[in-house]
Structure 1
Amino acid sequence: MADPKPALVLHLATGGEPLLFALTTDESAKLTGRLTQLVKSGAVETVTTKDHSAVAINFAHVAAAYVDDLTRKSTVFGMHG
């Protein structure tokens, strides 16, 4: 089995392709439980990516957000097949 490659997936309210940010396992664990509240409140949150970059995300512009494993073959809004 391949090593997990967690990523933050953001679907912007304006449409277009989703934004993907590779995360460490620790960062994905910290973020997963807070995503619902971040989107509901439209908060601005700084996320540290796998390459140690700090990215400020304005969740007021996000329609859907989730952490997914990029090693999966196919993904549609969190559903895996």
Structure 2
Amino acid sequence: MSNHALILHLTGRPEPLVFALSDKSAKSLMTRLPVLMGSAGVDSPELADGSTVAINFGLVATAHIEELPLNQQAYGSPKRGTGFGG
């Protein structure tokens, strides 16, 4: 399993929004992201934890997909136990 993240920079917000994507969504968005940004489209990608999020790309200044470091949490990251049966 790869750890792809969708990074969204919104106008007027100093920190980006980071969403952990499912492998299927990451693959799909890699080719469609320029179209969604150019057309101000709305999309609901599946996140790594199986949930979805609705994104209005008309409100996004910039967006890109990159690898999410293993120790970094993001919206939609799978829940991780403590390693001690949790």
* TM-score, normalised by the number of residues in structure 2: 0.73
Note the residue ranges of structure 1 that are not aligned, 5 or more in a row: 73-81
The superposition leaves residues 41-71 of structure 1 with CA deviations (integer Å, 9 ceiling, x where unpaired) of: 1111111101111100000110111110012
How far apart are the structure 2 equivalents of 1:61 and 1:14?
11
The superposition leaves residues 1-50 of structure 1 with CA deviations (integer Å, 9 ceiling, x where unpaired) of: xx631111000122320000001222100111111110111111111101
Identity %: 40
* Displacement over 4 Å in runs of 4+: none
Counterpart residue number, 1:11: 9
The total of aligned residue pairs comes to 70
How far apart are the structure 1 equivalents of 2:30 and 2:12?
23
How far apart are the structure 2 equivalents of 1:63 and 1:42?
10
SS at match of 1:55: coil
Output the aligned Cα RMSD.
Answer: 1.6
Counterpart residue number, 1:78: none
Counterpart residue number, 1:34: 32
Counterpart residue number, 2:48: 50
Note the residue ranges of structure 2 that are not aligned, 5 or more in a row: 71-86
